[in-house]
Amino acid sequence: MSKRKATNWNYPTSIWFGHERTKDIVKACEHLNIKNPLIVTDEALVNLPIIEDLKNPLNNEKIAFTLFSDVQSNPSAKNVEDGVKVFNENACDGVIAFGGGSALDAGKTIAFMSGQSLSIWDFEDVGDNFLRANIEGIAPIIAIPTTSGTGSEVGRASVITNSETHAKKIIFHPLMLPSLVILDPNLTYGLPKHITAWTGIDALVHSLEAYFAPGFHPMADGIALEAISLIKNNLVPAYENGNNENARANMLVAAMMGATAFQKGLGSVHSIAHQLGGLFNTPHGLANSIILPYALRQNKSAIQDKMKKLCVFLDIENPSLDSFIAYIIDLRQTLGIPSNLSEAKISDDRADEIGVLAYADPSTASNAKKLEIEDLTVLFKAAHSGNYDLLKDY
């Protein structure tokens, strides 16, 4: 047996879990010595009752705060720049990122960029770009997710769209990892069913791609396996009854676990989905949900042995890649998710461009098997048309 290659492992931050834990926001601010936070959320949440669950404890203790909600579903550099301006104009000293993945990514990046002099693109996750940062200028972050999907609350990076090129870029720094996370299942009770479905599959994709990513990381594999099991047992109950306390709690934890696991790597589902978000503003979870079975089929030669073990763990009959793909297809149908990208109103006239962009995406490097530009183009075409025969040679 060959000697294991040296690698580095990192695990996430302090996590406060429990129903109604949002009430502990004052304690969280005191814990991090935040006296004047900027609350970063999005336009969809700012007028909903759950934002009051966050604001009321701060108001009761007369803690000053500023609210910033100019964040779109795929956050742009402009959103970040505007947030940094508000942060500095109000002399804020920390960020409370509150919402789904978009709000969390924007909030983390605003906290990071609040004290930087270089452009946001100077910190793209390439090489050692993160060493350019002024670490003294990075504000502390409290992350409070309101969806069970991205797991951005335990991530050290954010996905930000370049408004000029429409390309999504990953901005990275170790200190973008929130210092404290509040996981409050109550915040997810009011989610629309389609958001529950899309974000839940997003969490599943994180765990699956991490599990199949090459490299030696047994802790990530173990976390991914348990997250997949939690999702299998709780996503449909959460979808069918949005007030199911146990299902909501388990999905919130599973999403966080999936994001913890994918420090090992992601794969081609994300490589394509990132481009659809940048070019067509496609919701990330929806894109992942549609692409997943096609990517599994394309990666067959690299994942089929490990897939059998996964199926045994999940009690899926006739353990095999085909059985798992059939499970995913049935799950999507139960959740009302389209079977192909065409049904999601995505054009196929930029297939070649998507292949090129996806190849350059950082997720491609950690895919279960090595893929070239033409492979990613074929993957997009298969997911767009619903034609698995395009993948028969893989």
Q: Could you tell me the two tokens for 149?
A: 């999907």
- The strands making up 66-68's β-sheet, listed across from edge to edge, are 14-17, 180-183, 141-145, 94-99, 37-40, 66-68
Closest CA to 50 of 251, 188, 253, 243: 188
Please state, as a whole number, how many other Cβ atoms lie within 10 Å of the Cβ of residue 241: 12
pLDDT at 2: 59
The whole-number pLDDT of residue 4 equals 67
* 316 burial level (CB within 10 Å; 0-12, 13-18, 19+): middle
CA dist., res. 157 & res. 155, Å (int)? 6
The per-residue pLDDT for 3 is 65
Q: State the pLDDT at residue 164.
A: 81
What single DSSP character describes residue 72? -
Relative to beta strand 180-183, strand 14-17 is parallel
CA distances from 317 to 226, 310, 313, 362 (A): 19, 11, 11, 34
Fold of 14-188: Rossmann fold (3.40.50)
Taking domain 193-391, whether its CATH number is 1.20.1090.10 is answered by yes
pLDDT of res. 267? 97
Residue 166: the pLDDT is 76
Read off φ and ψ for residue 98, nearest 5 degrees.
-130, 115
Quickly tell me which residue has 């929130």 as its tokens. 178
Q: What is the pLDDT of residue 261?
A: 94
| pLDDT value of position 332 | 97
330-341 pLDDT, tens digit each: 999 999 999 999
Domain boundaries, the chain: 14-188, 193-391
At residue 109, the pLDDT reads 97
Residue with tokens 């966080």: 256
Give one DSSP letter per residue of 263-309, joined into a string.
Answer: GG---HHHHHHHHHHHHH---HHHHHHHHHHHHHHHTHHHHHHHHHH
Residues 239 and 285 sit within 8 Å (Cβ to Cβ): no
**Can you give the pTM of this predicted structure?**
0.90
With tokens 């954010």, the residue in question is 158
pLDDT tens across the length of the chain (394 residues): 456 676 666 678 899 999 999 999 999 999 999 999 999 999 888 888 889 989 999 999 999 999 999 998 889 999 999 999 999 999 999 999 999 989 999 999 999 999 999 999 999 988 899 999 999 999 999 999 999 988 999 999 998 988 887 778 889 999 999 999 999 999 999 889 999 999 999 999 999 999 999 989 999 999 999 999 999 999 999 999 999 999 999 999 999 999 999 989 999 999 999 999 989 989 999 999 999 999 999 999 999 999 999 999 999 999 999 999 999 999 999 999 999 999 999 999 999 999 999 999 989 999 999 999 999 999 999 999 999 999 998 8
